[in-house]
Amino acid sequence: MTFKEQIQQGIPTILPEPKPYETNINHAPKRKEILSDDEKKLALRNALRYFEPKDHAVLIQEFLEELNTYGRIYMYRLRPDYKMYARPIEEYPGKSEQAKAIMLMIQNNLDYAVAQHPHELITYGGNGAVFSNWAQYLLTMKYLSEMTDEQTLTMYSGHPMGLFPSHKEAPRVVVTNGMVIPNYSKPDDWEKFNALGVSQYGQMTAGSYMYIGPQGIVHGTTITVLNGFRKIKKSPSGGLFVTSGLGGMSGAQPKAGNIAGCVTVCAEVNPKITKIRHSQGWVNEIVSNIEDLVPRVKKALENKEVISIAYLGNVVDVWERFDQENLHIDLGSDQTSLHNPWAGGYYPTGYSFEESNEMMANNPEKFKTEVQKTLRRHADAINKHTAKGTYFFDYGNAFLLEASRAGADVFAPNGIDFKYPSYVQDIMGPMCFDYGFGPFRWVCASGKPEDLAKTDAIASAVLEELAKTSPPEIQQQMQDNIQWIKGAQENKLVVGSQARILYADAEGRIKIAEAFNQAIAKGEIGYVILGRDHHDVSGTDSPYRETSNIYDGSKFTADMAIQNVIGDSFRGATWVSIHNGGGVGWGEVINGGFGMVLDGSEEASRRLQSMLFWDVNNGISRRSWARNDEAIFAIKRAMETQPLLKVTIPNKVDDALLNF
């Protein structure tokens, strides 16, 4: 069968032969035993409903074995034989170009070079899933190959509920992930619902088909590192940044450190992902012995090298040893997947990677105890460094939250606030999000590197023109972004699809997108797929990350994210998504995303102007109402450019009146 025929087939009527478990692939850890015997029967019923009764007797034993061995039913047998990657859009079967673009993005999320656990359909973060099982993938791709522009596919936590009649102006796909009743959002609830096959954790861009590899976060990480050094009034040259995590999102850190121009030490316990990042050029060197790490770092600092070093081991050992050696750390953070602390997101010190995985599966209570013990040590070591002048920030991965739950010394004297700021509170919020700058991204549907180079040049020209008349308040952001896009090609950021990320405000996003659309209309480039990270101005309500610099008491509400995805839906998005859970954990955040296909038409021009304006200014208006000065400035500026925009501006209260 050809590739197109395999896509159109969906779930095969004749079962393929079982596939061997490939040990050279980075697999998800075994999930803990969470289901009762009756619940296991329910999980099997749920899995078998994808198949005709004639196949149930064969599959039931196989699926039970998967459930008992891995804690989930992945349906490995149904994994397709074709290579998984983002093909040029014309290679996909279908009646809708928009649907073909979505198929392209789904396959990019599952590309072996992109996905963290590709055989378990997990893109990043240890549990950020595109689908729960391979039947869902096959059925979704089949539906997309059949879809017309007058249908919408509804996705219920990885399950394609079906194609429904709609209209050309509607989104082609609407995705929900993990949208359980709020009272059932504890970590064990996710474990149970996911094992039953009825809900999944889509993370942010994993479950919404908009992940573009570590590049997706490298720009924001570069901005964070640069502005971190600016905050301590030190040049990155000869400076030391210490952090951990080389997985899907965190893997951007060493590359960002190189672009910023400092020495980066990034610890990672997983040998496979460490080697992958090294082979991809995202980290320069691997050091596996702490005795070798210290002199290597000292030499790099003395010579002011721009270098990234992966330490294959636990980051706690790095913090403690650097303290003993009195090796000064300028910037410190952590980007392990602490939203998922008990299932592979964070590993205890004193145990090998293999020992930890065995303990996680077979003795989860001990694993939790050891993780919390390590978190306390981790925090203690950080405290020693910050007493010497290190600037430490929480990278929005729930490090401080989980450390506090472990009893670590991370609270400020008032016993309520954390002693260290979130990077959004200190850096990204006031410097970027409040002004409307966030991670705009695009993918060249042709798959051609030359198309990506052309879009880079178009975006650069647009930003340089805008910078000529931009107000002083945002000149730094404009110059940082111009520098970024000009260096994008030489920094070799592409992993998987021909994609780019660029921090831009609403004006920048709209003008760049319109310039792309005009270039498509002229035949200069192929179709372009627009998107963004959910980690943005408007898409996510997350009290310990995206909305951590909201101080009016509303940071625990989720109106902004819900309004965002509803508004994007009727303003022209090609697909939209809304998720419970993201980088800070299940039950801790609500986040929404979108995708939009540009085809060079007048209709695409109208859609992009309407939707992108809303997508950004929804968030600015919310931040303005929270009395954030930068957002008040930005929304007033937006109202000057768009007479139909009328936003309520807050009145401020004299602090003296509150002295009672």
Report pLDDT for 32.
86
Nearest residue to 443 via CA among 205, 281, 220: 205
Model confidence at 396: pLDDT above 80: no
Domain range list for the chain: 3-150+180-196, 214-420, 430-645
Residue with more model confidence, 35 or 584: 35
**Mean pLDDT, range 493-516, rounded to an integer:** 95
| d(C-alpha 607, C-alpha 603), whole Å | 6
Question: What is the band of 281 on the pLDDT scale with cuts at 50, 70, 90?
Answer: confident
Whether 436 has a binding-site annotation, put simply, is: no
In the chain, the percentage of residues whose pLDDT exceeds 70 is: 100
Q: What are 310-320's pLDDT values in tens digits? A: 999 999 999 99
Q: Which residue has the tokens 């009649």?
A: 165
Q: Are strands 575-580 and 173-177 parallel, antiparallel or unpaired?
A: parallel
Report pLDDT for 385.
98
- Helix pair 315-324, 364-386: axis angle to 10 deg: 30
Q: What are 144-184's pLDDT values in tens digits? A: 999 999 999 999 999 999 999 999 999 999 999 999 999 99
Whether 350 has a binding-site annotation, put simply, is: no
**Mean pLDDT, range 429-438, rounded to an integer:** 94
Model confidence at 216: pLDDT above 80: no
Q: Where are the alpha helices (DSSP H) in 438-573?
A: 449-467, 475-486, 506-521, 559-571
Report pLDDT for 609.
97
Whether 162 has a binding-site annotation, put simply, is: no
**Minimum mean pLDDT among 114-123, 390-399, 559-568: which range?**
390-399
Report pLDDT for 545.
87
SS3 129: strand
**Mean pLDDT, range 301-322, rounded to an integer:** 97
Architecture of the domain spanning 214-420: 3-Layer(aba) Sandwich (3.40)
* φ, ψ (nearest 5 deg) of residue 264: -120, 130
**Mean pLDDT, range 306-312, rounded to an integer:** 97
**Mean pLDDT, range 266-280, rounded to an integer:** 92
| d(C-alpha 656, C-alpha 660), whole Å | 9
Model confidence at 575: pLDDT above 90: yes
**Mean pLDDT, range 310-334, rounded to an integer:** 97
Whether 395 has a binding-site annotation, put simply, is: yes
The class (CATH top level) of 430-645 is: alpha beta
| d(C-alpha 477, C-alpha 528), whole Å | 25
**Mean pLDDT, range 452-479, rounded to an integer:** 96
* φ, ψ (nearest 5 deg) of residue 484: -60, -50
Whether 527 has a binding-site annotation, put simply, is: no
Q: Where are the alpha helices (DSSP H) in 310-448?
A: 315-324, 353-362, 364-386, 399-405, 423, 429-431
Q: What are 184-198's pLDDT values in tens digits? A: 998 899 999 999 999
| d(C-alpha 201, C-alpha 292), whole Å | 39
Question: What is the band of 248 on the pLDDT scale with cuts at 50, 70, 90?
Answer: low
| d(C-alpha 574, C-alpha 645), whole Å | 24
Model confidence at 657: pLDDT above 80: yes
| d(C-alpha 504, C-alpha 440), whole Å | 6
The DSSP secondary structure of 359-374, one letter per residue, reads: HHHH-HHHHHHHHHHH
Average pLDDT for the chain: 95
Report pLDDT for 483.
87
Burial 606-642 (b: 16+ CB within 10 A, else e): ebbbbbbbbbbbbbbbbbbbbbbebbbbbbebbbeee
**Mean pLDDT, range 357-383, rounded to an integer:** 96
- Give, in order, the Cα–Cα distances in Å from 365 to each of 31, 39, 120: 13, 21, 25
| β partners of residue 480 | none
Report pLDDT for 596.
98
Q: What are 45-67's pLDDT values in tens digits? A: 999 999 999 999 999 999 999 99
Q: Where are the alpha helices (DSSP H) in 572-627?
A: 602-625
Whether 585 has a binding-site annotation, put simply, is: no
pTM over 0.75: yes
DSSP run (H or E) holding 634:
helix 629-641
Amino acid identity of residue 433, one-letter, is F
CA torsion sign, 316 to 340 to 244 to 132? positive
The DSSP secondary structure of 336-360, one letter per residue, reads: S-TTSTTTTSS--TTS-HHHHHHHH
SS3 99: helix
Nearest residue to 462 via CA among 526, 505, 522: 505
Report pLDDT for 252.
82
Residue with more model confidence, 423 or 596: 596
| d(C-alpha 429, C-alpha 587), whole Å | 22
Report pLDDT for 487.
84
Model confidence at 427: pLDDT above 90: no
| d(C-alpha 279, C-alpha 251), whole Å | 12
Report pLDDT for 339.
79
- Give, in order, the Cα–Cα distances in Å from 587 to each of 177, 188, 369: 12, 11, 22
| β partners of residue 154 | 162, 174
**Mean pLDDT, range 497-522, rounded to an integer:** 97
